[in-house]
Structure 1
Amino acid sequence: MRTLTIIDTFGFFFRSYYALPPLRNSEGFPTGLLLGFANLIHNLYQEGDNEFLVFALEGGGVNHRKLIDPSYKATRQPTPEELLMQLPIAIGWIEKMGFPNISIEGYEADDIIASLSAWGVKNGHKVKIVSQDKDLYQLLNENICLYDPSKKREIEVKDCIEKWGVCPQDFVAFQSLIGDSSDNISGVKGIGLKTAQKIINHYHSLDAIYADEANWENVFTKRVATLLKEGKESAYKSQELVKLHQDLIQDFTPTPFPKHNPLLAIVDELEKLDFERLSLKVKKQSPFGYKKEPSKGIGHKKLEVQEGDFGFTYELLTSFQEAMQILKNHPLNQPIAYDCETDSLDIHQANMVGFSFCLDGKKGYYVPMRHFYLGVPKQMEVEEGKALIEEIFKHPIIGHNLKFDYLITKNNFSLTPQNLILDSMLLAWLYDSTASVGLDRQMYRWFNHKMISFESIVKRGENFSHIQLDEALKYAAEDAVATYRLYFRLESELEAQNLSHLLNLAKTLEFPMITTLASMEEEGICIDVVFFENLREIATEQIASLGSQIYQLAGEDFNLNSPQQLSHILFSKLGLQGSKQVKGGYSTEEKVLEKIKNDHPIISLVLQYREASKLRNTYIDPLLKLVNEDNKIFTSFLQTGTATGRLSSKAPNLQNIPVRSEAGKKIRQGFVAQEGNVLLSIDYSQIELRLLAHFSEDPTLIEAFIQDKDIHSETSLKIFGTLDKRSIAKNINFGLIYGMGSKKLSETLKISINEAKSYIESYFATFPTVKSYLKNQEENILHNGYAQTLLGHRRYFDFDSATDFQKSNYLREGINSIFQGSAADLIKMAMNEIHHFIQNTEIKMLIQVHDELIFELPEKNAMQKGEEIAKIMNEIYTLKVPLRCGISIGKNWAELK
Structure 2
Amino acid sequence: FGFASMLVKILTDYGPKATVVVWDAGSSGRKEVYSEYKAQRSSRPDLLREQWPHLEPLVDAFGYRNLKVDGYEADDVIASIAEQAKTQDPPIAVMVVTGDRDAYQLVDDQVSIMTTSRGITDTRVYDREGVIDRYGIPPELVPDFIGLKGDTSDNIPGVPGIGDKTAADLLQRFGSLETVLDSIDEISGAKRKQNLTEHSEDARLSKHLATAKRDIPLNGLDVAEFVSEPPDRSRLRDVFREFELRDPLRRLEEALGSAEAAAPAPVTERALFARPREGTLTDVARIVADAEVALAIRTPDTPEGALFGDNQQWRFGVYADSTEELVIGQCARPEELVAAVAARPVIAHDAKSLGQVPSHLVHDTEVAAYLLEPARRAYPFRELCEERGLATDVEDGAGADARLMQALAAWQREEVRGRGLTDLLMEVELPIVRILREMEQAGVKLNTEGLHAISERVKTEADELERQIFELAGVQFTLGSPRQLEEVLFGKLGLSRKRRGKTGYSTDARVLQAIRSEHEIIPRIERWRELTKLAQTYLDALPLLVDPGSRLHTTFNQTAATTGRLSSNNPNLQNIPIRTPLGREIRACIIAEPGHLLVSADYSQVELRLLAHIASENVLKEIFGRGEDVHTATACRVFGVEPEQIDPAMRSKSKMINYGIVYGLSAYG
What's the TM-score, normalizing by structure 1? 0.40
Q: 2:344 aligns with which of 376, 389, 395?
A: 395
Distance in 2 between residues matched to 1:428 and 1:478, nearest whole Å: 19
Note closer, same or farther for the CA distance 1:549–1:492 as it changes in structure 2 (3 Å cut).
same
Report deviation, 1:738: 4.5
In the alignment, is the contact (CA less than 8 A) between 1:317 and 1:323 conserved in 2?
Answer: no
1:733 to 626, 639, 654: 654
- Relative to structure 1, the CA distance from residue 489 to residue 620 in structure 2 (aligned partners, 3 Å threshold; closer, same or farther) is same
The equivalent of 1:722 in structure 2 is 642
Q: Take 1:534 and 1:683, find their aligned partners in 2: how far apart are those partners? A: 31
Q: Which residue of structure 1 aligns with residue 326 of structure 2?
A: 364
In 2: Cα distance, 1:596 partner to 1:452 partner:
59
- Is it true that 1:580 corresponds to 2:537 in the alignment? no
Please say if 1:475 is aligned against 2:422: no
**Residue of structure 2 equivalent to 1:571:** 490
Query: Deviation digits for residues 84-140 of structure 1, max 9, x if unmatched?
Result: xxxxxxxxxxxxxxxxxxxxxxxxxxxxxxxxxxxxxxxxxxxxxxxxxxxxxxxxx
1:683 is paired with a residue whose SS is coil
Q: Is the 8 A contact 2:280 2:329 kept in 1?
A: no
Aligned to 2:410: 488
Amino acid aligned to 1:440: R
Match of 1:841 in 2: none
Closer, same or farther in 2 for the Cα pair 1:451/1:559, shift >3 Å? Answer: farther
Residue 553 (1) aligns with residue 458 (2)? no
Distance between the aligned counterparts of 2:641 and 2:524, measured in 1?
42
Cα distance in structure 1, aligned partners of 2:462 and 2:521: 14
Structure 1 residue 655: Cα displacement: 1.2
* Structure 1 match to 2:628: 709
Gaps of 5+ in 2: 1-258, 303-310
Separation of aligned partners in 2, 1:389 and 1:730: 50
Distance 1:514 1:724, change over 3 A: same
Deviation, 1:729, is 5.7
Q: Which residue of 2 aligns with 1:339?
A: 296
AA paired with 1:477? Answer: G
- The worse-fitting range, judged by mean Cα deviation, of 731-740 and 440-449 is 731-740
**Separation in 1, partners of 2:615, 2:653:** 16
Contact 1:314–1:365 at 8 Å: present in 2 too?
no
Query: TM-score of the superposition, structure 2-length normalised?
Result: 0.53
Give the Cα–Cα distance (whole angstroms) in 2 for the partners of residues 693 and 446 of structure 1: 39
Q: CA separation in 1, counterparts of 2:665 and 2:490? A: 43
Is the alpha carbon distance of 1:566 and 1:732 closer, same or farther for their aligned partners in structure 2, counting shifts above 3 Å?
closer
Change (3 A) 1:683 1:559: same
- Alpha-carbon separation, structure 2, partners of 1:730 and 1:320: 59
Q: Which residue number corresponds to residue 433 of structure 1?
A: 374
Over aligned residue pairs, what C-alpha RMSD do you find? 3.5
Q: CA deviation at 1:667?
A: 1.1
Give 1:338's aligned amino acid: L
Alpha-carbon distance change, 351 to 504 in structure 1, aligned in 2, over 3 angstroms: farther
Could you say what secondary structure the match of 1:682 adopts? Answer: coil
Query: Is residue 2:660 matched to residue 1:660?
Result: no
Deviations 1:2-23 (A, max 9, x none): xxxxxxxxxxxxxxxxxxxxxx
Correspondence for 1:171: none
Q: CA deviation at 1:399?
A: 0.3
Name the count of aligned residue pairs. Answer: 391
Report the counterpart of residue 623 of structure 1 in structure 2. 542
CA contact (8 A) 2:444 2:553 kept: yes
The superposition leaves residues 353-402 of structure 1 with CA deviations (integer Å, 9 ceiling, x where unpaired) of 3532111296632232339xxxxxxxxxx9xx95x754523221100001
Structure 1 pair 690/421, CA: closer, same or farther in 2 (3 Å)?
Answer: same
* Identical aligned residues as a percent: 29
Q: Could you say which residue in structure 2 is the equivalent of 1:679? A: 598
In the alignment, residue 572 of structure 2 is paired with which amino acid? N
Q: Which has the larger radius of gyration?
A: 1
- Once residues 439 and 282 of structure 2 are traced to their aligned partners in structure 1, the CA distance between those partners, rounded to angstroms, is 37
Match of 1:527? 446
Quote how far apart the aligned CAs of 1:525 are.
0.5
- The AA in structure 2 aligned to 1:733 is S
- Please name the residue that 2:273 is paired with: 312
1:588-642 CA-partner distances (Å, limit 9, x unpaired): 2223323332322211221121011111111123312211110000111111112
Counterpart CA distance in 2 for 1:656 and 1:452 is 41
**2 CA distance for matches of 1:532 and 1:344?**
35
Pairing 1:745-824 to 2, within 5 Å after superposition = 808=668, 812=669
Partners of 1:443 and 1:737 in 2: CA distance:
39
1:547/1:570 Cα in 2 relative to 1: closer, same or farther (>3 Å)? same
- Structure 1 regions of 5+ residues with no counterpart? 1-305, 372-381, 411-415, 454-473, 741-772, 780-806, 813-897
SS of 1:337's equivalent? strand
Q: Please show how residues 382-461 of structure 1 align to structure 2 within 5 Å.
A: 386=336, 389-390=338-339, 392-405=341-354, 408=355, 410=356, 417-435=358-376, 436-447=378-389, 449=391
Give 1:491's aligned amino acid. R
> Within 5 A, what are the aligned runs for 1:65-104?
none
Contact 2:298–2:397 (CA under 8 A) maintained in structure 1: no
Tell me the equivalent position of 1:217.
none
